[in-house]
């Protein structure tokens, strides 16, 4: 009897925690300034929220088969949500979605201009070389 109560309390707490984490991701979607911070909020917080909800479902509806399926689902969720939001942020950068003005180290832009400068220097070197010989 008391074991059932413990299972019910723990499972219910996990369900509420997961739903709260997903609601936090939704608030971040509204409040954050640009695509990259939004993708970060949704990718990490919603991935963790689904993980906690899966643990709650397994606790409330326990069997060995459910435990195995739940572990596979948690592994898939933790691996894929980060990769998905990374691909999304990268696609947004490639299609010219501007970061918020408060973004200070913009390493992708710096490396892009750096590469362009390197290519320009290489072209100039080749030209000098052919002109000299």
Tell me: does residue 20 bind other proteins (CB under 8 A).
yes
**DSSP conformational letter for 61:** T
Closer to other proteins by CB, 20 or 120: give it.
Answer: 20
Among positions 95, 102, 130, 133, the unique one binding other proteins when judged by CB under 8 A:
95
* Token pair belonging to 39: 């993708």
CA nearest to 78, candidates 67, 70, 89: 70
Tell me: does residue 99 bind other proteins (CB under 8 A).
no
**DSSP conformational letter for 42:** I
SS3 8: helix
Q: Minimum Å distance from CB 62 to other proteins?
A: 11
Candidates 51-59, 99-107, 109-117, 118-126; binding stretch for other proteins (CB under 8 A): 51-59
């Amino acid at each position: 009897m008391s074991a059932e109560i413990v299972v019910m309390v723990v499972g219910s707490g996990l369900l509420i925690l997961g739903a709260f984490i997903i609601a936090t991701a939704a608030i971040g979607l509204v409040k954050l300034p640009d695509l990259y911070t939004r993708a970060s909020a949704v990718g990490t917080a919603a991935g963790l929220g689904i993980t906690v909800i899966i643990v709650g479902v397994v606790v409330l509806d326990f069997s060995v088969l459910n435990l195995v399926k739940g572990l596979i689902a948690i592994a898939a969720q933790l691996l894929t949500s980060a990769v998905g939001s990374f691909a999304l942020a990268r696609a947004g950068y490639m299609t010219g979605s501007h970061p918020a003005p408060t973004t200070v180290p913009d390493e992708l832009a710096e490396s892009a201009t750096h590469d362009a400068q390197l290519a320009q220097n290489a072209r100039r070197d080749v030209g000098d070389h052919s002109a000299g010989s």
